[in-house]
Chains A and B, each alone.
Chain A
Amino acid sequence: MAANMKAVKLRIKSVQSTMQITKAMQLVAASKLRKAKEKADQSKPYLDILKDTLTNIANGNTDFQSPYTKATDNDKWLYIVIAGDRGLAGGYNSNLFKFVEKATEGRDITVFPIGKKSVEYFKHKKVPLFTEEYAEVAAVTISDCFEIGRLICEAFKKGEFGHVYLCYTNFVSMLSQVPEASSMLPLSDFASDEKETGKARDLILYEPDSETVFNDIVPEYLSGLLYTSINVSVASELAARRTAMEAATDNASEMIDKLSLFYNRARQASITQEITEIVAGAEGGS
Chain B
Amino acid sequence: MSTFPLQVVSMDGLEYEGNVQRIMLRTVDGDVAILARHMNYCSAIGMGTAVVVMEDNSERTAACIGGMISVMNGECRVLPTTWEWSEDIDVARAEAAHREAQERLNKQNLSKEARNRAEAKLYRSLVRIETAGKNHSS
User: What is A's interface to B at a CB cutoff of 8 Å?
Assistant: 41-43, 45-46, 49-50, 53, 56-57, 60, 142, 202-208, 210, 212-213, 216-217, 220-221, 224, 227-228
Would A57 and B42 count as touching, CB distance under 8 A?
A: yes
B81 at the interface (CB under 8 A from A): yes
Docked complex Cα distance between A120 and B111 (Å): 34
Q: Specify which chain A residues have a CB less than 8 angstroms from the CB of B88 in the assembled complex.
A: none
Would B40 and A203 count as touching, CB distance under 8 A?
A: yes
Docked complex Cα distance between A43 and B68 (Å): 16
Q: Contacts A53-B72, A202-B73, A213-B42 hold; do A207 and B11 have CB atoms under 8 A apart? A: no
- Shortest CB-to-CB span from A17 to chain B, Å, is 42
- Shortest CB-to-CB span from B115 to chain A, Å, is 16
Contact of A43 among B12, B39, B72, B73 (CB under 8 A): B12
For residues 20 through 68 of chain B, which have their beta carbon under 8 Å from a beta carbon of chain A? 27-29, 32, 39-44, 66-68
User: What is B's interface to A at a CB cutoff of 8 Å?
Assistant: 7, 9-14, 27-29, 32, 39-44, 66-68, 70, 72-73, 77, 79, 81
- Shortest CB-to-CB span from A50 to chain B, Å, is 6
Docked complex Cα distance between A220 and B77 (Å): 16
Q: Contacts A46-B79, A49-B77, A49-B79 hold; do A208 and B29 have CB atoms under 8 A apart? A: yes
Please name the residue on chain B nearest to A42 by beta carbon.
B13
Please name the residue on chain B nearest to A208 by beta carbon.
B29
Docked complex Cα distance between A220 and B81 (Å): 8
Q: Specify which chain B residues have a CB less than 8 angstroms from the CB of A142 in the assembled complex.
A: 11
Would B41 and A207 count as touching, CB distance under 8 A?
A: yes
Docked complex Cα distance between A43 and B67 (Å): 14
- Shortest CB-to-CB span from B28 to chain A, Å, is 6
Please name the residue on chain A nearest to B72 by beta carbon.
A56
Contact of A205 among B12, B14, B42 (CB under 8 A): B42
Please name the residue on chain B nearest to A224 by beta carbon.
B11
Q: Specify which chain A residues have a CB less than 8 angstroms from the CB of B12 in the assembled complex.
A: 42-43
Q: Specify which chain A residues have a CB less than 8 angstroms from the CB of B39 in the assembled complex.
A: 203, 205
- Shortest CB-to-CB span from B31 to chain A, Å, is 11
* 7 closest A-B pairs by CB: A216-B44, A42-B13, A204-B40, A208-B29, A207-B43, A217-B68, A205-B41
- Shortest CB-to-CB span from B12 to chain A, Å, is 6
- Shortest CB-to-CB span from B54 to chain A, Å, is 20
Would A46 and B70 count as touching, CB distance under 8 A?
A: no
Would B73 and A206 count as touching, CB distance under 8 A?
A: no
Contact of A57 among B14, B66, B70 (CB under 8 A): B70
Would B41 and A204 count as touching, CB distance under 8 A?
A: yes
Would A43 and B11 count as touching, CB distance under 8 A?
A: yes
- Contacts A/B (CB < 8 Å), 29 sampled: A42-B11, A42-B13, A43-B11, A43-B13, A50-B79, A53-B70, A53-B72, A53-B77, A57-B42, A57-B72, A60-B40, A202-B72, A202-B73, A203-B39, A204-B72, A205-B40, A205-B41, A207-B27, A207-B29, A208-B29, A212-B44, A213-B28, A216-B44, A217-B67, A217-B68, A220-B67, A220-B81, A224-B79, A228-B11
Docked complex Cα distance between A133 and B124 (Å): 28
- Shortest CB-to-CB span from A222 to chain B, Å, is 12
Docked complex Cα distance between A101 and B43 (Å): 38
Would B72 and A216 count as touching, CB distance under 8 A?
A: no
- Shortest CB-to-CB span from A77 to chain B, Å, is 26
Q: Contacts A49-B79, A50-B79, A53-B70 hold; do A217 and B40 have CB atoms under 8 A apart? A: no
Q: Specify which chain A residues have a CB less than 8 angstroms from the CB of B13 in the assembled complex.
A: 41-43, 45-46
